[in-house]
Structure 1
Amino acid sequence: MGTTTGDPSALGSLASEDWVEVGSGESSSRVFASADGARYAKVASVDQMAELAGERDRARWAADRGVRGPQVLGWVESADGAVLTTGAVPGVPADQVRPDQVGRAWANVVAAVRELHDLPLDACPFDRGLRTMLALAQDVVARDAVHPEFLRPEQEGREGHHLLAELATELPVRLEQEASERVVCHGDLCLPNVLLDPETLEVSGFVDLGRLGVADRHADLSLLLASAQDTWPDEAQHIQDQLPSLYGSPVDADRLRFHLFLDPLTWD
């Protein structure tokens, strides 16, 4: 699939084949699956094109460095928007494993995340650092566009500007910590974005790479831990206790909390 401009519309570029709409991304782009399940297509409006192009570039960058994830198959632009087509990553989302598989799945997921975090920093052109994310949060909060359903229980019922002001008081120390422990982060590291081989429970790939970039490792670990604890509440404490040893480095609870509370304010 090549790049086109003008008519036909971006959505019309899917019309020649059988596609089924399967939902939307966090950015509200529409998501389609091919009839055979081998491909996915994200459709973005004009105002979402730059964000979708960023996901395309990140997926290509990650694939070039051996990160298991979606292969970019096509990119189509029109006056109405754009379509990104990728190959499906085999496997099942990590949040769908059986209760008796949780321990093995968690160990494999954390190991794969550590492998991602060990990629050379100087090769990554994408930023997901605190200054970038804070700017996103300031914009979302200023437009009163915070999604209440994304907030953590401790944040519910509170105004976005109050939540952001509290986090801003910690910014100097968090920036100092980030400077010494930056890694290549997935950026939206929840269990549904990690796919596992259903037999071995090994990680077969990461999906939704639109926020991949350099950041404090706790930005990823906070989302991963919260997602795992929300998904497997009976194992919540055990999962938390295991994280430092499985990851191979100490984990700072205050930094986890800071990044976990900032993330819901950055989604438009």
Structure 2
Amino acid sequence: MEFAETLLAHTHASWTRVKAGESGDLVYRREDGLAYAKIASSARSADLAGERDRLLWLQGKGIACPEVIDWKEVEEGACLEMTATPGIPAVDLDGDALLKAWPSMVRQLKALHELPADRCPFDRSLSLMFARAADVVSRNAVNPDFLPPEDEDKPVRELLERVERDLPLRLDQEAIDKVLCHGDACMPNFMVDPHSLQCTGLIDLGRVGTADRYVDLSLMIANAEESWATPEQGERALSILFETMEIKKPDRERLAFYLRLDPLTWG
């Protein structure tokens, strides 16, 4: 994105490109390390504006997350400048360190879930996400890298139909267990102090909205599985998660359903 330098020039600071997100947005870190900037093309500007609006709405609600510093939009795209959340992504921790950080990570997610869902203006409901998945599949835009190995060789329409068969039951469950979800509660989006191993906040909040709490639980569990050195670590993490979330009888099929849906919604 050649216009990135133009969007960053008005900040009068030096920026270093650190990565491109899964969405294709570019991410830059300010020279003092206290701020980041996301830059999206014009095709992605509306989604980036959605992340901006969610961050603004979350301010003052007790959730540790980036604060919006500035917003700049031009014909070619947009730039969201926000404060940096201290620490390192939980994905960078080994199994032992992650297990120590895990309780604080779960508490941070629970704090988000406990905000009044009926006051949230952002919708991430199952009907909306299924419609999004149907659109992605119709455009043949599913990213195969997001699919589990057992699904990589299956036709994407077959994967969508598998989700659709379970839709009525999951819609009923969502109706009685809807909370304010992160929407992408994977390990790179939990920041952790590497010394105290306490969660310092949540990042990448562009999918925040009301949804079944299992949306977040499924991604958090599945994404952490690669980090556990032993089965015992994984079992302990599950116990902490469900105890903290006050879920006495975890619904494994419900977890599996949202893992089947999520890869179809990116594209």
Q: Structure 2 counterpart of 1:238, which letter?
A: R
SS at match of 2:82: strand
Q: Does 1:41 align with 2:37?
A: yes
Q: Could you tell me how far 1:60 is from its partner in structure 2?
A: 1.0
Q: Does 1:148 align with 2:110?
A: no
SS at match of 2:59: helix
Match 1:12 to one of 6, 14, 39:
6
Match 1:193 to one of 189, 195, 199:
189
Q: Structure 2 counterpart of 1:243, which letter?
A: L
**What residue is the counterpart of 1:3 in the other structure?**
none
Match 1:238 to one of 216, 236, 239:
236
Q: Could you tell me how far 1:199 is from its partner in structure 2?
A: 2.5
Query: Given the two structures, how large is their TM-score scaled by the length of structure 2?
Result: 0.93
d(CA) in 1 for partners of 2:21 and 2:259? 19
Match 1:100 to one of 63, 87, 96:
96
d(CA) in 2 for partners of 1:98 and 1:262? 28
Q: Could you tell me how far 1:96 is from its partner in structure 2?
A: 2.1
Match 1:31 to one of 14, 23, 27:
27
d(CA) in 2 for partners of 1:11 and 1:259? 38
SS at match of 2:79: strand
Aligned residues: 261
Q: Does 1:179 align with 2:175?
A: yes
d(CA) in 2 for partners of 1:96 and 1:59? 24
Q: Structure 2 counterpart of 1:14, which letter?
A: L
* Residues 186-229 of structure 1: per-residue CA shift (max 9 Å, x gap): 01100110011222222211000000000000000000000111
Q: Does 1:56 align with 2:55?
A: no
Q: Does 1:256 align with 2:235?
A: no
Q: Could you tell me how far 1:72 is from its partner in structure 2?
A: 0.3
Match 2:111 to one of 108, 115, 123:
115
**What residue is the counterpart of 1:134 in the other structure?**
130
Asked whether the equivalents of residues 10 and 76 of structure 1 are also in contact (C-alpha less than 8 Å), the reply is: no
* Residues 86-126 of structure 1: per-residue CA shift (max 9 Å, x gap): 01001111122344323221122112211111111122100
* 1:153–1:9 CA distance, 2 compared to 1 (3 A): closer
Asked whether the equivalents of residues 188 and 211 of structure 1 are also in contact (C-alpha less than 8 Å), the reply is: yes
Asked whether the equivalents of residues 59 and 71 of structure 1 are also in contact (C-alpha less than 8 Å), the reply is: yes
Asked whether the equivalents of residues 10 and 78 of structure 1 are also in contact (C-alpha less than 8 Å), the reply is: no
* Residues 138-183 of structure 1: per-residue CA shift (max 9 Å, x gap): 0110011110110123322111110010110000000000000000
Unaligned runs of 5+ in 2: none
Structure-to-structure mapping, 1:194-209, within 5 angstroms? 194-209=190-205
Asked whether the equivalents of residues 70 and 89 of structure 1 are also in contact (C-alpha less than 8 Å), the reply is: yes
SS at match of 2:69: strand
* Residues 11-47 of structure 1: per-residue CA shift (max 9 Å, x gap): 4021343211111122211111112211111111111
Q: Structure 1 counterpart of 2:28, which letter?
A: F
Asked whether the equivalents of residues 225 and 240 of structure 1 are also in contact (C-alpha less than 8 Å), the reply is: yes
SS at match of 1:20: strand
d(CA) in 1 for partners of 2:68 and 2:238? 35
Match 1:79 to one of 42, 66, 75:
75
Q: Structure 2 counterpart of 1:244, which letter?
A: F
d(CA) in 1 for partners of 2:73 and 2:188? 28
Asked whether the equivalents of residues 141 and 160 of structure 1 are also in contact (C-alpha less than 8 Å), the reply is: yes
Q: Structure 1 counterpart of 2:243, which letter?
A: S
Pairwise CA RMSD: 1.6
Q: Structure 2 counterpart of 1:254, which letter?
A: E
Among the aligned pairs, what percent are the same residue?
A: 44
Query: Given the two structures, how large is their TM-score scaled by the length of structure 1?
Result: 0.92
d(CA) in 1 for partners of 2:75 and 2:29? 23
Q: Could you tell me how far 1:66 is from its partner in structure 2?
A: 1.9
d(CA) in 2 for partners of 1:66 and 1:241? 25
d(CA) in 2 for partners of 1:134 and 1:255? 15
**What residue is the counterpart of 2:164 in the other structure?**
168
Asked whether the equivalents of residues 97 and 105 of structure 1 are also in contact (C-alpha less than 8 Å), the reply is: no
d(CA) in 1 for partners of 2:214 and 2:148? 17
* 1:248–1:34 CA distance, 2 compared to 1 (3 A): same
